[in-house]
Amino acid sequence: MLKKILSPETCAKCRICCGFVDEDKWEIPLIFPENKDSIEEKFGFHLVPRGNEYVFDMEFDGDRLVYCPAESEHGCVLGGLKPFDCSMWPFRVNELCGKRVITVSPVCPGVSSLPLDRLCSFVREDGFAEMLFRTADEHPDMVKPYIDGYPILLVEEKSDLS
């Protein structure tokens, strides 16, 4: 779906979304429980619980950049088991003042140069926003607090946040 605005080649050259420092470890992509066993068995990665989901067990050392263990020079080795967070990045569902909003990370060079009206249109097309909110309903731990400076592309019309 993201191929309409972000080419796989652009992502493969950049991979900024695959690197984390200690203060960003809250952004490590969530692995949904239904994929945990397959990822551990097929790839040998160790996953640890985070809320109702799982994350890669990664060692952090201050400001040293740590890459996701599934990242390779050819992209994600997980294929169809790629975390949902990764497949929708740089878009994310955030909570802001009791509402869920869809934002876009300004650190993604592949989309940061695109006009906001194009990004807003993309989010509304082909059921993308509905899919994001539906997945957030099923996996509420993927909803992160809003970060200042992240452009808000869509505000959910209803909100059941409590």
User: Model confidence over 77-134: pLDDT tens digits?
Assistant: 999 999 999 999 999 999 999 999 999 999 999 898 899 999 999 999 989 999 999 9
134 Cβ contact partners less than 8 Å away, ≥ 6 residues apart:
none
Mean pLDDT of 157-162: 60
At residue 143, the 3 state secondary structure works out as: coil
In the prediction, which pLDDT does 122 show? 95
Environment class of 46 (CB within 10 Å of its CB; exposed 0-12, middle 13-18, buried 19+): exposed
Domain-embedded: residue 138 = yes
Residues 47 and 17 in one domain: yes
Mean pLDDT of 145-159: 89
Domain-embedded: residue 162 = no
Cα separation, 159 vs 99, whole angstroms: 6
Domain-embedded: residue 12 = yes
Single-letter code of the amino acid located at 142: M
Residues 76 and 107 in one domain: no
Last residue of a domain, one of 34, 53, 81: 81
Residue numbers of the domain that contains 71: 2-81
Domain-embedded: residue 118 = yes
Last residue of a domain, one of 81, 103, 123: 81
Domain-embedded: residue 160 = no
Last residue of a domain, one of 81, 96, 116: 81
- pLDDT over 70 percentage in the chain: 98
In the prediction, which pLDDT does 105 show? 92
**pLDDT surpasses 90 at 153:** yes
**pLDDT surpasses 70 at 143:** yes
In terms of pTM, does the model score above 0.85? yes
Residues 15 and 68 in one domain: yes
Question: Tokens in use for 143?
Answer: 């909803």
In the prediction, which pLDDT does 160 show? 52
Residues 64 and 99 in one domain: no
